[in-house]
Each structure stands twice: as C-alpha cells, then as structure tokens.
Structure 1
Amino acid sequence: MKYSAAIVCLFTILMWGCESTQNEPGLDLTTVQDSTNIAYTITDLEGPEAVRYDPDQKAYFISNFTGGGNTQDSTGFITKTDAEGNIEELEFMTGTKQVPLHAPRGMFIVDETLWAADVLGVHGFNKNTGEQTYFVDFSEFEIGFLNDISADENGALYVTDTGTSTVFKVENGDVSVLLEDLPNAPNGITLNPNTGNFLLAPWGGDQTFYEFNSSGEVTEYATLEGGNFDGIEFIENVLFSASQQDSSIRIYHSNLQNILIKTTGRPADIGVNTHLNHIAVPYIALNKVEIWDISK
C-alpha cells in the first residue's frame, strides 16, 4: 500500500516531528537510553559539577565542586581527561595562592582560555598548560551563587547568578549587570543556534525558559517538562537539558519534547562532544561523570 508524503509526515509528527531525523541524521532521538549506552565512566572525582569538551585537544575538563556551596576553602580544582574519560591530570587547574579555586562550576572555552565560574568571580586558564592567566573579581557586586558561563562571538562572557536572579556581562575584564530581577533564577546558559540569543535554564520549580540577546532584551523561549534544570546544550538544533527533578536528560526539538536519558543520579552541568555525539553527565553527589553515546 502506498501513502502520500503528507500522510507519512502526519504519522511521523505524532511520534517525533517530520524534520527531526532529516536534520539530525547522526543522533538517536527516539530511543530512551539505558545503561548500555554509557560509553565511559569517570570516577575518583570530588563533587563534579560541570563538564566542558575541547575539540582541539579531544579532552574533557571537569570542575570539581569539592566542599560545594560558597565556602572559600581553596580546595576546588579542574580535572583533564581524554575523550575516552581517562584522567590525564586530576588537579590540572587549581588557580594561584592569591586567587585559588574554591568550588568551580560552569566553564566555557574562548580561543586558548578556559573560563570557569567560582565563588568570588571568574577564573581564566590556559587550556593547554592549566596555568591561571586571568581572574575577574566580582566582589564589588552582590554575589549570590555564580553558576554557569558562556560567551559571544566577540569573547564577552555571560555569567549566571542563581542566587540573585542576575546575569553578569564581562567585557575586556570589566564586569557589569546585564540582567537583574529575572522572572526565575537562571542556572545553565548556552547559545541558541536557531536564534543567536542566549538561553537560560530555570532553577527551582519554574519550567519557563527565557532567552536574551547581547543588548539584554529578554523574550520567553518555551515552557518545558521537568524541573530544577541545570546544564543545557545544543547539538545541531536539538536542546538537551539536565533535569534534576526526575533525574533525566530531556530533549526539545521542533516543539516536541521527551526524556532521552534516565540518568543514574541527579545530573548537573552537562558537556557535549559533537564530533561523536557523546553527552558527558556529571553527578555531584556520586563523584562520577558518565559519558553517554547517543549516536545511531
């Protein structure tokens, strides 16, 4: 029996969306992943909060929360592993004696610098050597909980403060408040390739995602299922969000959404290797990172 393209598309929309598998041919977006899809597991960490992948070195960077919270205990560090999760150096980045890492969180790479949000500001490290090259002090502002970080094409940094519902902007080393009194507390931040704006993941009970441009104009993006969202990342046009409310990695695409991964704990700030379609999921409480293979 032959069916018209329109009818086939209608049935496909009911399941997922007519264009999804055409736009993302390398991703398995329809199968709920189980533990057999865990390619690698990284253990012996100390409260891993965030992961960032560097395609140049084929390496993962993992921020270790250690004591956690906003404690200034100088115990934080960033681990470097290879693409298969083998630890190359556990304490690859630690800061300096004057400005050490305390409880590093979200990270972002701009050229040769890996930027990491921490208790008192943002640290910059040479991604190849691990040497701290910059520190941007936020102490002149009311700091709640500096959490995640992203950057625009000009290298300006955008840092979420979950504790004060604020987004800071760092440009040429100068800090300013770009957004304040947001309708919900922002946690994760990432660039939306579909709009060119920055997307914010809401922490707490709110499920509405907002996005903003570099001028600070805020618009509503979507209301998504899940809750207590942490890290968010795009692969192609698919949004991946870490939902701590139900221990899952959820996807949003073409106005449709579902759970892709049922994680083994509460996921924090995820990282993506877009070359292999791998998602690295850190678990603060479990002291481990799992690298999930979502390729077909």
Structure 2
Amino acid sequence: MYKYLLIIIIWLFVSCRSGGHKTTNIDWDTVQDSTNIVYTIKGLDGPEAVRYDPEQNVYFISNFTGGGNTQDSTGFITKADAEGNILELKFMKGTNGAPLHAPRGMFIIDNTLWAADVLGVHGFDKSTGEQTDFIDFSEFEVGFLNDVSANTEGTLFVTDTGSNRVFRIEADTHSIFLDSLPEAPNGITLNPENQQFVLAPWGGDQTFRSFGNSEELTEYGILDGGYFDGIEFLQSNLLAASQQDSSIRYFDGSESTILIKTLGRPADIGINTNLNHVAVPYIALDRVDIWNLTKK
C-alpha cells in the first residue's frame, strides 16, 4: 500500500514540475490593457514572433532587425526565460552559408525550432542554438515567407503573404501546397479539435480560412479587426493579433471579442501553455509584453 502511495506522490510531483498540470481557469470576460502586463522583455531589435518551449520553459523571439526582405545577415533569435529575462540575446544566428536575415514565424518539432526567413526556412537545435538545417526556397518566386506550423505527422506548412501561397515541407521536399488564395495568408496554426489548419488574412480582409490534408479551403470564421498577424489556439478559442485596432482578439466559433488592448501593433504572438500567458511582440517598439489570462 505504501509503495503505491509513494508512486502516486512521485507522479504528482513530476507532473507539476514538468508542466503536466495546466491552469484552465481563463478570464475571457475582462479586457486587459497595459496595466495588466506581468512581464516585459526589452532590448530587442524588431521582434516579430514569439514561440514558447514548454520543455525548457523559455521563449524564443525572432528579431527582424530592419524587417522587410533585405538580405543583410543581421537577423537573430533571442532566448528568454518565462519571467521575461533575456538568457542570450543572439542565441540563434544562422551560418555564413545560410545566415538569418529577418526571421519571422517559428514552430518547434521535437528538438528543432523552425523559422521562416527571407530566402527559406531555417532549422535550429533548440537546446544549443546551432543551425542544423536550411531549406532553400530560391527555386520559387517567393514574396514574403511569414509563418510556420506543422501537423501531428511533422509536416511543415509555411505561409507566403507576398504571393498568396502556402508551401509544404515534407520529408525534405518542399512544394507549393495552396496557390492563388483569396486572401494573403499571414499567421497559421493547427486547430487541436479537428486537426485543420487556420489561416489569418493580412490586409483589410476579415475571413479566416482553414484546410486539412487536401487543397480544399473552407471558411473558418469572420473576425472583427484587420491586418491580422499571429494566431494561436488557447483551449477551444482562437487568439488573433489584430494590427488594425492594436488588439488581441479571441474567437469562440461564433463571434470575436477583444481580450487585450495592446500598446502598439501586435505581431506573431506566443502562448505559454503551462501558465496561460500570452507574449505579444511589437516590431516597432523593440519589446515583448506578456499578459496572464488566468483568473486571479
């Protein structure tokens, strides 16, 4: 009996330490503003996207360093802890042969962090920061490679906001998966409920579309706001960064509501899935603000 009791105690301890216990009591009713910021990460250089790694309990932040499609080899990815302290400013920098120029959206598969950039998609060892892969898109006339996501099989999908395309990377082969989309796709994320990808429209469009294993597009929903950037799911709600009105909105499947009024134009948001914190980067302000969405 004592043996089994000890096993249960150990399991509970490990579960809590590893993030197995996740808070689900989210305050969807209160609109937060700058007074509700719990942490701020400063000293960045055009932060465009944030990706949280629950295994290391850290944030990765891609730095635009001027932005656009300039091939200036100045981009880098920062590593910060969950309390907003920078652990290493230029943790990932690329290589001489495949440098980072203006990294954008990121996604983690196993021990690899994938990041979209001007000329292709970089792969980094998330523990050491060493570049391990570079997938060159120069054979395509890319417009603006922007965000990255993946399905449960590890197939990557990359949005191209400049050419209204979505690319697919599967088994070291990259190809055009969706072409001539009705809206320019910016953010992309996987809906955990139905394993369908959702695309955020850039520009004045408000229609979010989704797709699965086929090239068939369906309408996911219409959100208020505009010039949408990063999108992520938290529980069953879609969170979307709206640059038109400087807000983070959530969509419950029927209507969108403002969750946070941000200080500036929000870019590609990241979610601390252990604590239900939302990290919001601002390219123009060189900072990332973090909000806590859990009820107090």
Asked if these proteins are the same fold (TM beyond 0.5), I'd say: yes
Matches within 5 A, 1:121-140: 121-140=120-139
Rounded Cα–Cα distance in structure 2 between residues aligned with 1:236 and 1:154:
21
| 1:157 corresponds to | 156
Partner SS, residue 43 of structure 2: coil
Alignment: residue pair count: 273
Q: Matches of 1:36 and 1:25 in 2, distance apart?
A: 23
Question: What amino acid is aligned across from residue 52 of structure 1 in structure 2?
Answer: R
SS state at 1:26 partner: coil
Q: Does 1:168 align with 2:167?
A: yes
Q: Quote the offset at 1:218 in angstroms.
A: 1.0
- Distance in 2 (CA, whole Å) between partners of 1:95 and 1:34 is 36
Q: TM-score w.r.t. structure 2 length?
A: 0.91
Give unpaired runs (5+ residues) of structure 1: 1-23
Aligned to 2:227: 228
Superposed, 1:266-285 pairs within 5 Å as 266-285=265-284
- 1:216 paired with 2:228, answer no
Q: CA deviation at 1:156?
A: 0.9
Superimposed CA distance per residue, residues 216-271 of structure 1 (whole angstroms, 9 cap, x where no aligned partner): 22111111100000000001101100000000000111413210100000000000
Moved over 3 A (4+): none
Q: Distance in 1 between matches of 2:291 and 2:24?
A: 17
Shift in Å at residue 172 of structure 1? Answer: 1.2
- Is the contact made by 1:150 and 1:158 (CA closer than 8 Å) also made in structure 2? yes
CA distance in 2, matches of 1:226, 1:213: 25
Structure 1 partner of 2:198? 199
Letter of the structure 2 residue corresponding to residue 262 of structure 1 = K
Q: Deviations over 1:77-121 (max 9, x none)?
A: 000001111000000000001100000000000000000000000
Contact 1:37/1:294, CA 8 A, preserved across alignment:
no
Aligned-partner Cα distance in 1 for 2:151–2:215: 13
Query: What secondary structure is seen at the aligned counterpart in 2 of 1:201?
Result: strand
Displacement after TM superposition at 1:274 (Å): 1.5
Q: Report which stretch shifted further, 28-37 or 284-293.
A: 28-37
In structure 2, what is the equivalent of residue 243 of structure 1?
A: 242
Aligned equivalents of 2:242, 2:212: Cα separation in 1: 24
Q: Describe the shift of the 1:213–1:254 C-alpha distance in structure 2 as closer, same or farther (beyond 3 A).
A: closer
Residue aligned with 1:36, SS:
helix
Mapped to 1, the partners of 2:218 and 2:256 lie a distance apart of 20
TM-score, with structure 1 as normaliser: 0.91
Q: Matches of 1:193 and 1:75 in 2, distance apart? A: 35
RMSD (Å), alpha carbons = 0.9
Partner-residue secondary structure (3-state), 2:88: strand
Equivalences for residues 1-296 of structure 1 within 5 A: 25-296=24-295
Once structures 1 and 2 are overlaid, which stretch shifts more, 214-223 or 197-206?
A: 214-223
Q: How far 1:37 moved relative to its partner?
A: 1.7
- Tell me if the contact between 1:248 and 1:260 (Cα under 8 Å) persists in the aligned partners: yes
Displacement of 1:154 after TM fit?
Answer: 1.3
Q: Please list every run of 5 or more consecutive structure 2 residues that lacks an aligned counterpart in the other structure.
A: 1-22
Alpha-carbon displacement from aligned partner over 1:174-203 (angstroms, at most 9, x marks no partner): 110000000000000000122210000000
Counterpart in the other structure of 1:15: none
3-state SS in 2 of match to 1:225: coil
Distance 1:239 1:289 in 2: 20
Aligned equivalents of 1:215 and 1:254: distance in 2? 22
CA distance in 1, matches of 2:70, 2:34: 34
Whether contact under 8 Å (1:144, 1:162) holds in the other structure is: yes
Q: Which residue of 2 aligns with 1:19?
A: none
Contact 2:221 2:253 in 1 (8 A): no
Per-residue CA distance 1:124-181 (angstroms, 9 max, x = gap)? 0000000000000000011000000001111110000000000000011111000000
Contact (CA 8 Å) 1:26, 1:277: kept in 2 or not?
no
